[in-house]
């Protein structure tokens, strides 16, 4: 299982891009900056649909200092996105600087959940301006007509419900959606089936797979231990795991690096696919998949989304507390927050009211055209990096507990929810296992999770008091719905 299957959608010249694969629009002028030239070349290569052209582009822009391990995920990004979009027509440039550019593009022949995509690109500041970041996220249709001015909560609810009804009529959404203000639920509704075999409907208290959203709980757990004086964010791994088998990693990597995806550790998905996933049940089981891996780069050098880092944090939690990771999260986060339907449930136990995931992706990241169960595409139990289960109601409770300092005091709540590393420009940051975005002056804190048959997101609007929780058991559904609600909320 490739990391891009899970992370492309977590989730980042005066050339005129005419003739894309669709050949329908002339497109906007692209600035002749290093980032603009990269964008133009990226779209040209992408729209060929040819694997060889993609490889040539990746090799041309790859920094020689990058690990060879970086090539395959980048190639998979091309393949995955092209399968979903069928090529792109550039619609507009949203922002541009010498080394960073954001653009909106329309899918030529969409096969996935979204027709529009926002590209967020950065390149190295020194010539020859190697590949820095290519981020891709669902975007709204800019031609859609909406009511003028700032919308009321009632209007947002009505437009959201109409949008969901449309998606459901096309069999493009299955899951549960919650929209709240200051902890009060304004909209809560479930759609689709939790089990297609027995025709069991989803409910608002149905448990859905969180994907990577478990990382937030791991971040809070580490901050709790720091608040108690049991660790420091600047401590190296070796202080708490003296027997960690990889000495270089243990000595160089700090807890801060692990929390911010700057450790140089990668992801365990490929290794997991080669093992008996039914035996992956403890934090130590997952750690064994990558303990011998070398670092991709020197810790602190750059942001690189990692699932291995939170696993190591899980080991540290167990070492300090003497508790099993799952027990610690249950007792110190789920219970205090009132999250009665949240846990890393073993997948071979008969857990009540738990949704099966359904995907149109096969094991080679190719769309099959029909829904099938994702049961054999994930581990037997989730952990510090993801794979647990929750409900939209429990996610609202987590938001309320976090804002009201029932999990951390104000100082440490601010620490985990403040941006520390850029994911896609100054507006898209990463805190301590929390995403931290700023849009129209509003801070949006949270995380997403995605994998075949798994799509979830929690957006906590820390300034305006809104909460958006979406959990789905179809591919890629949460991001597009969350983006729709965000657009409605941000109207001036």
Q: What's 464's domain CATH number?
A: 3.40.710.10
**442-489 pLDDT per residue, tens:** 999 999 999 899 999 999 999 999 999 999 999 989 999 999 999 999
**Helix (H/G/I), strand (E/B), else coil: 304:** coil
What are residue 349's phi and psi, to 5 degrees? -105, 150
pLDDT tens profile 227-261 = 999 999 999 999 999 999 999 999 999 999 999 99
The pair of structure tokens assigned to 409 is: 């005091």
Q: 18-22, 83-87, 94-98, 329-333: which range is least confident on average? A: 18-22
Residue-averaged pLDDT of the chain: 89
Locate the DSSP E strands across 256-409: 358-361, 367-373, 389-390
- Domain identity same for 320 and 441: yes
213 and 329 part of one domain = yes
Q: Are residues 176 and 103 in the same domain?
A: no
Q: How many domains does the chain have?
A: 2
One domain, residues 62 and 203: no
Give the C-alpha separation, 96 to 9, whole Å.
23
| Res. 24 pLDDT band, cuts 50 70 90 | very low
Instruction: Quote the pLDDT of residue 367.
Output: 73
HSE, side-chain direction, 13 A CA sphere, residue 356: 20
User: Do residues 345 and 466 both lie within one domain?
Assistant: yes
Q: Cite the beta strand spans of 108-210 per DSSP E.
A: 116-123, 131-139, 175-181, 184-191, 193-195, 200-201, 208-209
Query: Which of 12-16, 112-116, 179-183 comes out lowest in average pLDDT?
Result: 12-16
Which sign does the torsion angle of CA 194, 195, 201, 203 carry?
negative
pLDDT, one tens digit per residue, over 65-118 is: 776 767 888 888 888 889 889 999 999 999 999 999 999 999 998 877 778 888
What is the rounded distance in angstroms from the CA atom of residue 386 to the CA atom of residue 344?
A: 9
* Per-residue confidence (pLDDT) for residue 69, from 0 to 100: 67
Q: Are residues 205 and 102 in the same domain?
A: no
From CA 456, how far away is CA 461, in angstroms rounded? 16
Domain end point (choices 139, 169, 184): 139
Q: What is the structure's pLDDT at 26?
A: 57
State mean pLDDT over 420-443. Answer: 89
Q: Which residue has the higher pLDDT, 301 or 110?
A: 301
CA distance 311 to 198: 35
Cross-strand pairs, 189? 177
Mean pLDDT of 188-216: 97
Q: Which two tokens stand for residue 181?
A: 């203000």
Check pLDDT > 90 for residue 318: yes
CATH code for position 106: 3.10.450
- Domain of 28, in residue numbers: 3-139
Tokens 């990597």, located at residue: 253
CB 458 within 8 A of CB 395: yes
Phi, psi of 286 (to 5 degrees): -70, -40
Where is the domain boundary, 100, 122, 139? 139
Higher-pLDDT residue of 36 and 27 is: 36
Q: For residues 319-343, give the mean pLDDT.
A: 98
Asked whether residue 368 falls in the same domain as residue 406, the answer is: yes
pLDDT at 454: 95
Q: Has residue 35 got a pLDDT over 90?
A: yes
CA dihedral in degrees (317, 323, 325, 330; nearest 10)? -120
pLDDT at 60: 93
282 and 409: one domain?
A: yes
Q: Both tokens of residue 241?
A: 């795991």
**126: region left, alpha or beta (phi > 0 left; psi from -120 to 50 alpha):** beta
Q: Are residues 21 and 102 in the same domain?
A: yes
pTM here? Answer: 0.85
Query: Does 23 score more than 70 pLDDT?
Result: no
Residues 88 and 188 in one domain: no
pLDDT at 172: 92
Q: Are 131 and 195 found together in one domain?
A: no
Judge whether residue 428 has pLDDT over 50.
yes
The span from the first CA to the last CA of the chain, in angstroms, equals 42
200 vs 273 pLDDT, higher one:
200
Domain termination residue (choose one: 93, 114, 139): 139
Rounded Cα gap, residues 438 and 419, in angstroms:
10
Residue 429, helix vs strand vs coil: strand
Same domain, 133 and 152: no
């Amino acid at each position: 299982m490739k990391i891009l299957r899970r992370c492309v959608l977590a989730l980042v010249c005066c050339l005129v891009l005419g003739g894309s694969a669709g050949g329908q629009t002339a497109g906007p002028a692209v600035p002749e900056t290093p980032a603009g030239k990269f964008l133009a070349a990226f779209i040209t290569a992408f729209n060929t649909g040819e694997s060889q052209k993609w490889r040539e582009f990746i090799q041309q822009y790859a920094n020689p200092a990058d690990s060879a391990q970086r090539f395959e995920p980048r190639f998979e990004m091309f393949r995955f996105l092209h399968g979903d979009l069928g090529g792109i027509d550039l619609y507009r440039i949203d922002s541009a600087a010498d080394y960073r550019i954001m653009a909106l593009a329309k899918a030529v022949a969409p096969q996935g959940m979204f027709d529009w995509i926002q590209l967020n690109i950065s390149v190295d500041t020194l010539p020859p301006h190697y590949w820095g970041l290519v981020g891709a996220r669902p975007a709204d249709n800019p031609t859609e007509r909406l009511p003028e001015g700032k919308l009321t909560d009632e209007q947002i609810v009505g437009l959201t419900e109409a949008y969901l009804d449309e998606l459901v009529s096309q069999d493009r959404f299955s899951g549960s959606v919650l929209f709240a203000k200051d902890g009060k639920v304004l909209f809560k509704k479930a759609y689709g089936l939790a089990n297609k075999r027995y025709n069991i409907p989803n409910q608002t208290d149905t448990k859905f797979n969180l994907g990577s959203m478990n990382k937030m709980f791991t971040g809070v757990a580490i901050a709790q231990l720091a608040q108690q004086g049991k660790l420091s964010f600047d401590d190296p791994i070796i202080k708490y795991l003296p027997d960690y088998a990889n000495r270089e990693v243990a000595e160089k990597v700090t807890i801060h690096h692990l929390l911010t995806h700057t450790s140089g550790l990668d992801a365990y998905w490929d290794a997991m696919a080669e093992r008996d996933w039914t035996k992956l049940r403890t934090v130590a089981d997952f750690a064994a998949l990558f303990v011998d891996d070398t670092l991709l780069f020197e810790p602190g050098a750059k942001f690189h989304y990692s699932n291995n880092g939170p696993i190591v944090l899980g080991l540290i939690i167990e070492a300090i507390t003497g508790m099993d990771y799952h027990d610690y999260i249950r007792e110190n986060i789920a219970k205090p927050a009132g999250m009665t339907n949240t846990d890393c449930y073993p997948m071979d136990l008969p857990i009540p009211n738990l949704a099966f995931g359904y995907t149109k992706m096969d094991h080679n990241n190719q769309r099959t055209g029909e829904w099938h169960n994702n049961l054999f595409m994930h581990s037997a139990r989730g952990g510090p990096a993801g794979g647990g289960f929750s409900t939209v109601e429990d996610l609202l409770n987590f938001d309320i507990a976090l804002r009201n300092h029932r999990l951390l005091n104000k100082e440490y709540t601010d620490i985990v929810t403040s941006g520390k590393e850029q994911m896609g420009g100054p507006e898209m940051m990463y805190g301590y296992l929390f995403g931290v975005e700023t849009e129209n002056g509003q801070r949006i804190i949270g995380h997403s999770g995605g994998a075949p048959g798994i799509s979830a997101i929690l957006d906590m609007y820390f300034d305006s008091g809104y909460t958006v929780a979406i959990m789905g058991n179809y591919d890629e559904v949460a991001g597009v719905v969350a983006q729709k609600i965000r657009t409605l909320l941000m109207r001036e």
